[in-house]
Amino acid sequence: MDITSATALWGAVAGLGLYHGLNPGMGWPLALSTALMERRAGALPQAMLALGAGHFLSMLAVLLPFALLTVMVQWADEISIGAALLLIGTGLYLLIKRDHPRFLARISPARLGLWSFLVAIAHGAGLMLVPIYLGICAAGAQDGAAFRLIGGNSAMAVLVALVHSAAMVLAGGGLAAALYYWFGLKVLARAWVNFDLVWATSLILVGAVSLWRFA
């Protein structure tokens, strides 16, 4: 794949990670509250790493099945269109049904890794990476390296999930650290955003952009 396409696709992987990290629904407020309750700064990175691990596993849980599907190169366009429609459908569902899944409330915040995994699955976070991941596979296949790419598609899924989750931890951890050390919790009361609405809209937008290339 050419350097421009590679930079754009991997930039999107990292950019979505930053977006997920800044979204409080992915857990950085829990990391902040853990540090405040334990009254030690070291609890903050520990909590963010637990959140990042859960997020990473949730990305893999979504990407790996699509990684196996990329073996069917002749159906690559149909798989991409189906993934985009699934993304749009999830966004529309979240716009209509605003309530968070009740089973998430039964998980102790102390189990941050499990909480992060289930929240990311419930919110369809991994679905946002699917069109980008398939784009990376498609771009790689165009340069004659299709068989090598197919052979390493699972490794590519791991790398995409890893880059994305690292960006998520950096963004969420950075914001939580800024609030912990400098700004304080009062900033949240003045600058809160309806991230549920932004999240659902962004799912639809990413899916629509993915479909646009087939128009």
Mean pLDDT of 78-84: 73
Mean pLDDT of 67-93: 70
For residue 106, how far is the Cα from the chain centroid?
23
Contacts of 159 (CB under 8 A, 6+ apart): none
% of the chain surpassing 70 pLDDT:
69
Q: Where are the domains of the chain?
A: 3-212
Q: pLDDT tens for residues 154-169? A: 788 899 999 999 999 9
* Lowest mean pLDDT, pick from 5-19, 149-163, 170-184: 149-163
* Lowest mean pLDDT, pick from 63-72, 121-130, 147-156: 147-156
Is the pLDDT confidence value at 105 over 60? no
- Which of the listed ranges 1-10, 51-60, 186-195 does the model predict with the highest average pLDDT? 51-60
For residues 168 and 55, the answer to whether their CB atoms sit within 8 Å is yes
**What CA–CA distances, in Å, run from 144 to 9, 43, 147, 162?**
19, 48, 8, 26
